[in-house]
Structure 1
Amino acid sequence: MKKNYMNKLSLSIFLFLILVSNIKAQNMTEETATPILDRELFFGNPEISGGQLSPDGKWISFMKEYEGIMNIWVKKFDEPFEEARPLTNSKRPMQGYFWSFDGKYILYVKDENGDENVNIFAVDPMATAEINEVPVSRNLTPLKEITARINLVSKKNPDLMMVLLNDRDKAWFDLYQLKISTGELTKIYENNDRVTGFDFDWDEKLRILSKTDEKGSTVTYKIEGEKLAPIYETSVSEQAYVTGWTPDNKKAYFVSNKGDLNLSTLLLMDLETLKITKIESDPKNKVDFGGLSTSDLTRKIISTSYTDDKTTYYWQDKSWESSYKFLQSKFPGRELSFQSSTNDEKKLLVAIYGDKYAAEVYYFNVETKELLLQYVPRPALKNVEQYLAPMTSVSYKSSDGLEIPGYLTIPVGSDGKNLPVIILVHGGPKGPRDNWGYDSQVQFLANRGYAVLQPNFRASGGYGKKFLNAGDLQWGKLMQDDITWGVKYLISEGIANKDKVAIMGGSYGGYATLAGLAFTPELYACGVDIVGPSNIFTLLESIPAYWEAGRAFFYAMVGDPKTVEGKKRIEEASPLFSSDKIIKPLLIIQGANDPRVKQAESDQIVVALRDKRKQVSYLLADDEGHGFRKPVNNMAMYAETEKFLAEILGGRYQQEMPENVAIRLGEITVDISKVTYEPKNK
């Protein structure tokens, strides 16, 4: 009996220990499980961003929220950031800013509600303003419905810039000299002959013009007094551009992939003899020439760079190389980039970043090696870095055996098996590519429990001319296969749950989403199309006038609508004409002012799917263009996106949202029963 009692006691203790162990394990799981991170960490305004040193290093400018929008602020370098003054009160996020070479002005560009009608503005960084006000900014190009482009910012005369304006002819840009202090514009070159490039040497003398004909061929000319002499020519399937000059201005650095060159290569052309010398191409023979960095002080090359999975630098300036290696030693496992420099190149702002790290920006003194943290753009994200996921390089074969590179991100805490997956397709399509590093979209989706594949499909840039041109006339065909075979790769590796794969992307990525649902209707569980074209005919009819020089380039990609064969290709590749095959839920997101992929592209597919009783939802922002830039719109868009994905794929989503985001989501959510589309040519 005693023995029986002891056995029962032992069993009770054993069961109790199991219970305690299970409770502890459960508590540990709850404590260590990846939390749902607030979407504002990814898509809200950063606290500070875009820092730049003044030319003399005595001041620092940066972007910070002012009335809900990122605006330009300035402070003395040795002052705390809390003492900074706002310089602008733009209601629209800016597209960039910089200091004039003498530090008298800060210049910036912006459009109206995403219409890409860009003007150039100037503000005095030393100007004062009334309390709760900002200094007055001057519009230096006060013209309506134009797109101003900055060609050159003078160092010889810091009050001057060379700008391009399409005020006379919407399709072509004339060259103007712009006096910053007065806004005076002086026409330098009236472009009546399809000029697409103006290149100035170190002494700011106009030396080279490029012209592109109706077939897409580009001829480069050197300027000899009043005459132009041809020196180089490329076809529509080749590329060449000037990227710098030797210190004496006698020779120009060209980057070209002409003729037998597959990987773009750095060349040197003697403009007197026209002799061309190869300087270098990728030492690993894998990718295109990336970039040439030169010193404004010595006019000599600092470094060249190439981007494969990551970027590699080859240094020619020992001082810059020493600084780079010193900084690398301070931040092992991170990438770094020189973000800003004083005129004497002795003081720098350096950005430190990585795939699963919140960026940091440091001040670095080249001479003393002093290193001071200036700011962390997203400090709240910094506090949860342990929940950010690593991005890994992958590759797989497409339907025709072509090797497709890309990046794969697996959620933190996952074993990487049988996961719901988002195929995230980049825009372009010809030329752009996805790169390694922190990506807010990717981290947001991974945090919600999805594996994310970013395929650099054929036509993506950086992998050589053959890879780039392999996408020509392959919209919806081999280019789409590159994405489809990415899904098959993930399924074969056991990473993807074949029933829980979604496709998502913006611009061409939006097109690929529509094409994926229309041409491979069983492959995806759903799709999110962000400003994607549905009808290539209407896309080509509505491109901005100032893209006229690239029309042959577009036709080479998708087909010429003026030919029978071209029409056939375009109709086959346009998802709109296969909308009856779409059987999975679709979320469409569009900016009403988009000049590239107009609202009609989304309206058409919404109407077609609605009338066929398909499941389609539609967000339309009246104050956005080609993609959303205002934080409240971004937050609303991603709130709806994550809910949409969670309901279909079973991922997690953040249910709550700030009141202003909820209101905005209601405002941009379209009642699809009221969407109409009237074709121009019935």
Structure 2
Amino acid sequence: MTASIDAAPLIPRDALFGNPTKTGAQISPDGRWISWLAPRDDVLNVWMAPSGDPDAAKPMTADTERPIREYMWAPDSRSILYIQDKGGDENFLLYGVDIESGKETCLTPFEETRVMLVGGSDTYKDRILVGLNNRDARFHDVHLLDLNTGALSLVLENNAYAGFLADDDLQLRLAILPNADGGTDYFKVVDNVVEETPFKSTDIDDALTTSPGGFTRDGKTMYWMDSDGRNTAALLAMDWETGATTLIAEDDRADIGGSLRHKDSGEVLAYAVTYLKREWHALDDGIQAAFDFLESQFEGEFGIASRTDDDRKWIVGNDPVVKPSASYVYDRDAGTLTKLYTTRPELEGAPLQPMHTREISSRDGLTLPSYLTLPPTSDPDGNGVPEAPLPMVLFVHGGPWARDGYGYNGHHQWLANRGYAVLSVNFRGSTGFGKDFINAANLEWGRKMHDDLIDAVDWAVDQGIAQRDKIAIMGGSYGGYATLAGLTFTPEVFACGVDIVGPSNLETLLESIPPYWEPMVAQFHTRMGNPNTEEGLALIKERSPLYKAGDIVKPLLIAQGANDPRVKQPESDQIVDAMKQADIPVTYLLYPDEGHGFAKPANNIAFSAVAENFLATNLGGRAEPIGDTVKESTAEIPAGAQFVDGLAEATA
């Protein structure tokens, strides 16, 4: 088996974690231009071309420090907007680039400020509503921003609310306030004044499965994703004046996960449900015909990334999983599909592996939707079970109020190519599967949430997928916490662990959350434990891996961004220090110019180089030599270079 896997080509790290050739395609609302992200001097920037001549592209931005990862067209098609922070601090500012002159302007020129989009309009295309927390870091005041002059006008000073919803006339209609019970209160806004009494409230059970979905163009109907009186979130239409609601769609397996709206009326034309895979359901004959055509053209799943104002041209992405993803222009009138680019053409012909969907049972009867990827040549009949058990990496998602999904996954492909089975599990607390699944995780950090991961490990062993003594646990954010929990609470289960920006002490994590998360603190306390009560503080300490650092007996690799505003550097420092004081080996990578995860390709490549050699050291898989990758990154190694084969030599 090992010899067979070794015969497969080793996919270079650069091809998996370096800059994509192009990504993030969008079409301007007026249809004249196509844009995308692509490297400029090795840094991702926004490029633009006439829609009829993509080869005539030119760069529109010139960032030299950090990749631009989010951008959008202004509604009037006169400028491109993007957000950028400094060194991963998540204080995102909004920038605009005039497409005629090329002039770039910071539209929110403030220090220690994070911008949020409150509302856009198809009627008033030259302005948007933004929230700014430059007055009080905890709350975002709402401003009207003229996109072409940069003028900012205060609409509402905010001293309480977590968010707002506006209509197409850019009038605030809804204010959102987390309540003391961990749920959410919704208030109507009239003439920029918030009413005193909420017209709708949820408790903690529905807090993550109920949210407003926006207004129709005329402002008379508001859509909701709503789980009140049901388990999964349904799509409802509410008459704004009477409050009467109409059910549009629901699915017993999963929450309604998004919708496609009419460009003029704002009415729902289609909706998506994602249980194991995403399924689109059209409510309009024309959209159904478009979906049928796209499904006939593509292998794997497709998604609609961008649409013109007249809705006649779409940017469509295709993810075949076993081939690199690509983007296309779909002309609905001509019935044509024109390829724009392949995101990572260097992966053409690479041994990319299929992703298998699985349902795993927890010990107390929950169904855990999961995803499995196996190494090349290990599963000749393609049934998702290798010919012989393999070393395995349990890759745990962050959040924890998030989810894993189906599709191309760079980490799955990388680790499978190195010789590991890769398993990702939607443990209790993951979103998208109804409120009962989420709330089954309340106060279960490090306990039943962790039990789900152990149950998945046992399943993989019982199925003949994994070797019991060669299983690693790896993940970022909550996945990093799960890694630390795995090595402290169940120290003999895993052969090693890789923690990426994971919290080690839940008490200090809650003490150091960003100020703009303050309105959500009650929900954190309800779901994790309340450190302001004697019982809650005891629970949080019990579930904090830091206090059991002395129980770690297996190798651990920790990676941290120094500017992380969510899981701050002391979360990694303190468990590294505790392990060093107890003479327990630990390897620590620290990136001074990164935050909650690693944005710069050189840093990503260096991390993957160290991580795959760490895994090879402890599980016996394949690895490219570390080479100069760490030296070419900003990584510092405060501890443990000697515990990864080749790392000390590579950094000498």
With normalisation by structure 1, the TM-score equals: 0.89
Give the match's secondary structure for 1:411. coil
Q: Say if 2:336 is the partner of 1:361.
A: no
Q: How far apart are 1:567 and its partner, in Å?
A: 1.2
Determine which of 6, 15, 21 is the counterpart of 1:47.
Answer: 21
Counting only pairs closer than 5 Å after superposition, residues 243-282 of structure 1 correspond to structure 2 as: 243-246=213-216, 248-258=218-228, 260-282=229-251
Conservation of the 8 A alpha-carbon contact between 1:420 and 1:449? yes
Relative distance call for 1:55 and 1:665 in structure 2 (3 A) is closer
Q: How far apart are 1:537 and its partner, in Å?
A: 0.7
Q: What do residues 480-534 of structure 1 show as CA deviations (whole Å, max 9, x unaligned)? A: 0000111111111111111100000000000000000001111000000000000
Determine which of 481, 489, 495 is the counterpart of 1:511.
Answer: 481
Counting only pairs closer than 5 Å after superposition, residues 458-537 of structure 1 correspond to structure 2 as: 458-537=428-507
Conservation of the 8 A alpha-carbon contact between 2:71 and 2:83? yes
Q: What do residues 314-360 of structure 1 show as CA deviations (whole Å, max 9, x unaligned)? A: 101211221111111112x3211111112111111111112222101
Conservation of the 8 A alpha-carbon contact between 1:450 and 1:651? yes
| 1:183 partner amino acid | G
Relative distance call for 1:32 and 1:478 in structure 2 (3 A) is closer
Conservation of the 8 A alpha-carbon contact between 2:34 and 2:54? no
Structure-1 residue corresponding to 2:125: 158
Q: Say if 2:317 is the partner of 1:326.
A: no
Segments of 5+ residues of structure 1 without an aligned counterpart are: 1-25, 128-134, 674-682
Determine which of 404, 409, 415 is the counterpart of 2:368.
Answer: 404
Q: What do residues 229-282 of structure 1 show as CA deviations (whole Å, max 9, x unaligned)? A: 532111133132221334542221111122x32111122222222223333211
Determine which of 88, 94, 98 is the counterpart of 1:124.
Answer: 98
Provide the C-alpha distance between the structure 2 equivalents of 1:630 and 1:236, rounded to a whole number of angstroms: 37
Provide the C-alpha distance between the structure 2 equivalents of 1:351 and 1:562, rounded to a whole number of angstroms: 47
Conservation of the 8 A alpha-carbon contact between 1:114 and 1:593? yes
CA radius of gyration, larger in = 1
Relative distance call for 1:662 and 1:195 in structure 2 (3 A) is closer
Q: Say if 2:40 is the partner of 1:66.
A: yes
Q: How far apart are 1:440 and its partner, in Å?
A: 0.3
| 1:36 partner amino acid | L
Which has the larger displacement, 398-407 or 575-584?
Answer: 398-407
Conservation of the 8 A alpha-carbon contact between 2:269 and 2:282? yes
Give the match's secondary structure for 1:62. strand
| 1:145 partner amino acid | E
Q: Say if 2:370 is the partner of 1:370.
A: no
Structure-2 residue corresponding to 1:453: 423
Q: How far apart are 1:667 and its partner, in Å?
A: 4.2
| 1:630 partner amino acid | K
Structure-2 residue corresponding to 1:563: 533
Provide the C-alpha distance between the structure 1 equivalents of 2:454 and 2:26, rounded to a whole number of angstroms: 43
Structure-2 residue corresponding to 1:6: none
Counting only pairs closer than 5 Å after superposition, residues 541-552 of structure 1 correspond to structure 2 as: 541-552=511-522
Provide the C-alpha distance between the structure 2 equivalents of 1:454 and 1:667, rounded to a whole number of angstroms: 27
Provide the C-alpha distance between the structure 2 equivalents of 1:383 and 1:394, rounded to a whole number of angstroms: 27
Structure-1 residue corresponding to 2:82: 108
Determine which of 594, 600, 612 is the counterpart of 1:630.
Answer: 600
Conservation of the 8 A alpha-carbon contact between 2:37 and 2:44? yes
Q: How far apart are 1:72 and its partner, in Å?
A: 0.7
| 2:293 partner amino acid | F
Determine which of 4, 10, 19 is the counterpart of 1:36.
Answer: 10
Structure-2 residue corresponding to 1:14: none
Determine which of 422, 440, 460 is the counterpart of 2:393.
Answer: 422
Q: Say if 2:582 is the partner of 1:618.
A: no
Aligned residues: 629
Q: How far apart are 1:398 and its partner, in Å?
A: 1.9
Structure-2 residue corresponding to 1:231: 199
Provide the C-alpha distance between the structure 2 equivalents of 1:203 and 1:314, rounded to a whole number of angstroms: 29
Determine which of 280, 284, 289 is the counterpart of 2:256.
Answer: 289
| 2:237 partner amino acid | L
| 1:270 partner amino acid | D
Determine which of 309, 314, 336 is the counterpart of 1:343.
Answer: 309
Relative distance call for 1:563 and 1:227 in structure 2 (3 A) is closer
Segments of 5+ residues of structure 2 without an aligned counterpart are: 380-385, 642-652
Determine which of 123, 142, 145 is the counterpart of 1:175.
Answer: 142
Conservation of the 8 A alpha-carbon contact between 2:429 and 2:441? yes
Provide the C-alpha distance between the structure 2 equivalents of 1:433 and 1:227, rounded to a whole number of angstroms: 34
Determine which of 318, 336, 349 is the counterpart of 1:383.
Answer: 349
Conservation of the 8 A alpha-carbon contact between 1:114 and 1:594? yes
Q: How far apart are 1:394 and its partner, in Å?
A: 1.1
Q: How far apart are 1:32 and its partner, in Å?
A: 9.7
Conservation of the 8 A alpha-carbon contact between 1:74 and 1:87? no
Provide the C-alpha distance between the structure 1 equivalents of 2:410 and 2:73, rounded to a whole number of angstroms: 28
Q: How far apart are 1:582 and its partner, in Å?
A: 0.5
Give the match's secondary structure for 2:204. coil
Task: Please report the RMSD computed on the Cα atoms of aligned residues, expressed in angstroms.
Answer: 1.9
Provide the C-alpha distance between the structure 2 equivalents of 1:351 and 1:80, rounded to a whole number of angstroms: 16
Provide the C-alpha distance between the structure 2 equivalents of 1:66 and 1:170, rounded to a whole number of angstroms: 34
Conservation of the 8 A alpha-carbon contact between 1:525 and 1:584? yes
| 1:196 partner amino acid | A
Structure-1 residue corresponding to 2:649: none
| 1:81 partner amino acid | D
Relative distance call for 1:227 and 1:375 in structure 2 (3 A) is closer
Conservation of the 8 A alpha-carbon contact between 1:216 and 1:549? no
| 1:335 partner amino acid | E
Conservation of the 8 A alpha-carbon contact between 1:252 and 1:270? yes
Which has the larger displacement, 413-422 or 89-98?
Answer: 89-98
Structure-2 residue corresponding to 1:95: 69
Relative distance call for 1:377 and 1:272 in structure 2 (3 A) is same
Conservation of the 8 A alpha-carbon contact between 1:100 and 1:153? no
Q: How far apart are 1:425 and its partner, in Å?
A: 0.2
Q: How far apart are 1:665 and its partner, in Å?
A: 5.2
Conservation of the 8 A alpha-carbon contact between 1:66 and 1:86? no
Relative distance call for 1:370 and 1:279 in structure 2 (3 A) is closer
Matched-pair identity in %: 41
Q: How far apart are 1:54 and its partner, in Å?
A: 1.9
Give the match's secondary structure for 2:303. strand
Give the match's secondary structure for 1:41. helix
Conservation of the 8 A alpha-carbon contact between 1:336 and 1:351? yes
Structure-2 residue corresponding to 1:210: 176
Q: How far apart are 1:224 and its partner, in Å?
A: 4.0
| 1:87 partner amino acid | T
Structure-2 residue corresponding to 1:664: 632
Give the match's secondary structure for 1:168. strand
Provide the C-alpha distance between the structure 1 equivalents of 2:217 and 2:591, rounded to a whole number of angstroms: 50
| 2:96 partner amino acid | A
Provide the C-alpha distance between the structure 2 equivalents of 1:218 and 1:494, rounded to a whole number of angstroms: 45
| 1:457 partner amino acid | F
Provide the C-alpha distance between the structure 2 equivalents of 1:116 and 1:85, rounded to a whole number of angstroms: 24
Q: What do residues 81-125 of structure 1 show as CA deviations (whole Å, max 9, x unaligned)? A: 365334333421223111112211100001001000110000112
Provide the C-alpha distance between the structure 2 equivalents of 1:144 and 1:298, rounded to a whole number of angstroms: 39
Q: What do residues 131-161 of structure 1 show as CA deviations (whole Å, max 9, x unaligned)? A: xxxx442111111001111111233222211
Q: Say if 2:112 is the partner of 1:145.
A: yes
